[in-house]
Amino acid sequence: MRTQVGIVGAGPAGLLLSHLLHLRGIDSVVLEARSREYVEQRVRAGVLEQGTVDLLNEAGVGERMRKEGLPHHGIELRYGGAGHRIPFEKLVPGRAITVYGQQEVVKDLIARRLADGGKILFEVPDVALHSLEKSPYLTFQGERLDCDVIAGCDGFHGVSRPSIPEGVLSIFQRDYPFAWLGILAQVPPSAEELIYAHSDRGFALHSMRTPEISRFYLQVPTDASLDDWPDERIWAELRARLETVPGFELTEGPIFAKDVSAMRSFVAEPMRHGNLYLAGDAAHIVPPTGAKGLNLAVADVRLLTAALADFYETGSTELLDAYSDTCLKRVWRAQHFSWWMTTLLHTFDADDAYGGRLQTSHLDYVTSSTAAATTLAENYVGLPFEPGASHA
Ligand code: FAD
Ligand code: DHB
């Protein structure tokens, strides 16, 4: 088999890349370890930046998102017995976020690729990458797929990044002393907007998926197991961390999904080796507090599409050569923002009284200074894409 771009992984990065390449007349094959059902049901991100929404719309895959997605024009920071709204409409006019589940984006992209005759091979768990510095190819289940370039879109635990020879990559990493327990509940949201709540008991996040489904997260110890968290304990902890302002009452309902996610910051540089280009979580991870991971994956594949299209149209490798450096500028901005939001909102060592005072001062500043709140808002809704790398 032969294709122009061999894509490993059918997450948001791999699927969107395959679709954007198709729009530019470039052929690709996507190889995915898991089943279609599994990737369509995997519950993860929920917040789409303005630029991500615009890109999905321009690429013709935004129809259901426009109908079912929930545009939000602010978030609440809640701490010390009070809520403080960060008003995007005032601080970053014209820019907002849309709450729309990652698995819905994945479903929309898979449906569109298949309708367009795209090739996605599911349940190929044994993908291997070869000859990255010359004529690259992929092997799986006794087959061989020759390609001009390979796009490693297979997430943090994938096979692409480890296929790069030792000594090539520089790794930058930070782990956090807590994890997130996430739930989906069949209950209308208890507030119209997202609530990021800081309390002595730990961080809690009120989010949603639809007018009938709520999504919540709780800061939990790194070794937390779902067995330790029966439904009653989850609701009790959410109440204790969120019902901290007068008049706010949490509406409870049946929980139908639970997950625990580690919190990590990670960057592998450069995001390219020979003819292998890494995109999304395969190259970088952020803690979810800033809601940036999926959005970064989208920004990467947007640039990779522009670079590959330029290469096929003109023969120039200029944009491909610049791919890693261009991506990493945005990646590091998101790294900083995600670390900053995580540090601002989580509960760290209770014995560190000095750290606690700094955190309160920082929260007071962000919720009282227009300059500080604007910093949060413009990063949260997403900085504009850099000029000169249009995808279409
Ligand atoms: P992935 O989604 O991990 O996709 C990689 C794909 O590759 C998977 O389908 C996997 O099965 C496949 N694969 C792996 N190994 C192989 C292999 N060897 N061969 C073939 N295929 C393979 N981001 C946001 O922007 N906003 C948010 O609100 C947000 N909230 C989050 C909340 C939580 C709790 C978590 C955990 C993450 C959140 N994120 C958020 C991050 C976001 O989910 C990820 O950054 C995003 O999934 C990255 O997409 P990706 O396509 O790069 O990788
Ligand atoms: C969601 C996830 C996030 O990481 C975040 O910061 C906000 C919302 C969500 O899944 O809804």
Confidence class for position 349, pLDDT limits 50, 70, 90: confident
pLDDT tens track for 199-216: 999 999 999 999 999 999
The mean pLDDT value for 330-349 works out to: 96
Pocket test for ligand 2, best of 47, 99, 292 (most atoms within 8 A of CB): 47
Q: Is the CB of 207 under 6 A from ligand 2?
A: yes
Residue 161 structure tokens: 């990044």
Q: Find the 43 Cα to ligand 2 centroid distance in Å.
A: 11
Q: Find the 171 Cα to ligand 1 centroid distance in Å.
A: 19
pLDDT tens track for 69-92: 999 999 999 999 999 999 999 999
Confidence class for position 351, pLDDT limits 50, 70, 90: confident
In ligand 2, the atom with minimum distance to the C-alpha of 293 is: 4
Residue nearest to atom 10 of ligand 2 (CA): 46
Residue 156: what pLDDT? 98
Residue nearest to atom 26 of ligand 1 (CA): 291
Ligand nearest to the CA of 205: 2
Q: Find the 46 Cα to ligand 2 centroid distance in Å.
A: 5
Phi-psi region of 25 (alpha: psi -120 to 50; beta: other; left: phi over 0): left
Q: Is the CB of 44 under 6 A from ligand 2?
A: no
> Within 10 Å of residue 12's Cβ, how many Cβ atoms?
29
Confidence class for position 191, pLDDT limits 50, 70, 90: very high
- Is the pLDDT score of 327 beyond 50? yes
pLDDT tens track for 1-24: 999 999 999 999 999 999 999 999
The mean pLDDT value for 254-259 works out to: 97
Q: Which of 117-126, 291-300, 381-390 has the lowest mean pLDDT?
A: 381-390
Residue nearest to atom 31 of ligand 1 (CA): 45
Confidence class for position 387, pLDDT limits 50, 70, 90: low
Give, for 55, the enclosing helix (H) or strand (E). Answer: helix 50-58
Residue nearest to atom 16 of ligand 1 (CA): 158
Confidence class for position 388, pLDDT limits 50, 70, 90: very low
Residue nearest to atom 4 of ligand 1 (CA): 11
Q: Find the 128 Cα to ligand 2 centroid distance in Å.
A: 33
Q: How far is CA 239 from CA 34, 46, 181, in A?
A: 36, 22, 15
Q: What is the DSSP string of 77-126?
A: EEETTEEEEEEHHHHSTT--EEE--HHHHHHHHHHHHHHTT-EEE-S-TT
Radius of gyration in angstroms for the set of CA atoms belonging to the chain, rounded to a whole number: 21
Residue nearest to atom 1 of ligand 2 (CA): 46
Pocket test for ligand 1, best of 100, 263, 281, 335 (most atoms within 8 A of CB): 281
Burial label for 302, CB within 10 Å (0-12, 13-18, 19+), is buried
- Report the distance separating Cα 80 and Cα 360, nearest Å: 9
Q: Which of 161-170, 175-184, 344-353 has the lowest mean pLDDT?
A: 344-353
Residue 350: what pLDDT? 80
- Report the distance separating Cα 342 and Cα 174, nearest Å: 12
pLDDT tens track for 86-101: 999 999 999 999 999 9
Nearest to 49 by CA among 109, 7, 117, 96: 96
Q: Find the 155 Cα to ligand 1 centroid distance in Å.
A: 5
Give yes or no for a contact between 222 and 238, defined as CB atoms under 8 angstroms apart: no
In ligand 1, the atom with minimum distance to the C-alpha of 46 is: 28
Give yes or no for a contact between 271 and 300, defined as CB atoms under 8 angstroms apart: yes
Q: Is the CB of 215 under 6 A from ligand 1?
A: no
Catalytic positions are: 72, 196, 288, 292, 380
Over the chain, what is the mean pLDDT?
Answer: 96
Task: State pTM to two decimals.
Answer: 0.96
In ligand 2, the atom with minimum distance to the C-alpha of 182 is: 10
Pocket test for ligand 2, best of 104, 105, 183, 194 (most atoms within 8 A of CB): 194
- Report the distance separating Cα 359 and Cα 307, nearest Å: 42
Q: Find the 226 Cα to ligand 2 centroid distance in Å.
A: 19
Residue 390: what pLDDT? 42
Q: Is the CB of 47 under 6 A from ligand 2?
A: yes
